[in-house]
Copies of this chain bind each other. A is one copy, B any other.
């Protein structure tokens, strides 16, 4: 997590007004792009409120979702290193962002050692998540990956309200497919299958989680080959 507030926390008193002076507020509607692959890096975005997908792939048809982000996360942080974005980001819901120009951001980092160290921690966490996802792509078949995604959605977005088991936000079938490298038909069939098994319930396009334990079992069950002759 790396929010506006945390950023301020690691910012020394003298630099705070500089942050406030240079930041700006951005509103994007659902399905609007925040930045596009190839765009010049102008700054960094803090998600104040909303849900965003970060995706690779240019021509609309072969987009793949690299990660999803919501409140109190940052976007475009790789612009620290690059002149141009090599990924795009698109709002999933109406979203409020705080924007900070990249040169100001860099100045503040360099002047605040604690901030730099905190950012390092943040990146390490991001790396870990990327590796975890890679691991799931390497180890699991589509069915299990869908179970993993459902758990991630619970974790990331939570339920509509405390009494409900309805996900507060449901990715489209196509978006789920693009997160796990399968087709939307497979997602649809697998969700139907999960419903039959009573793991979930489909309420229109929305998804309600009925048996999170079973989903976790599925998600944890790495296939290990019976054959033990050749170690791998």
Interface residues of chain A, those whose CB is within 8 Å of chain B, are 56-57, 59-64, 66, 77-78, 80-82, 86-87, 106, 109-110, 113, 116-117, 119-121, 123-128, 130-131, 133-135, 137-139, 172, 174-175, 177-181, 183-184, 222-225, 228, 230-232
Contact = CB atoms under 8 A, between A and B. Distances in A.
Given A63-B232, A137-B138, A120 B80 contact: yes
Most chain-B CB neighbours within 10 Å: which of A109, A135, A223? A135
B139 A77 contact: no
A232 B61 contact: yes
Nearest to A182: B138
A111 to B, nearest CB: 8
A110 B77 CA distance: 21
Contact of A117 (B82, B116, B179): B116
Contacts of A130: 127, 130-131, 134
Q: How many copies of this chain?
A: 2
Contacts of A82: 124
B125 A81 contact: yes
14 contacts: A57-B139, A57-B222, A61-B224, A62-B222, A63-B232, A77-B124, A81-B120, A81-B121, A82-B124, A110-B113, A110-B117, A130-B130, A130-B134, A174-B230
Contact of A138 (B64, B109, B110, B123): B64
A7 to B, nearest CB: 14
Most chain-B CB neighbours within 10 Å: which of A86, A87, A127, A128? A127
Contacts of A180: 138
A78 B128 contact: yes
B228 A61 contact: yes
Given A56-B131, A131-B130, A181 B123 contact: no
Nearest to A55: B135
Contacts of A179: 138
A5 to B, nearest CB: 20
B60 A231 contact: yes
A60 B231 CA distance: 8
Given A130-B134, A137-B181, 7 more contacts: A109-B116, A110-B117, A116-B117, A120-B123, A123-B127, A126-B127, A174-B232
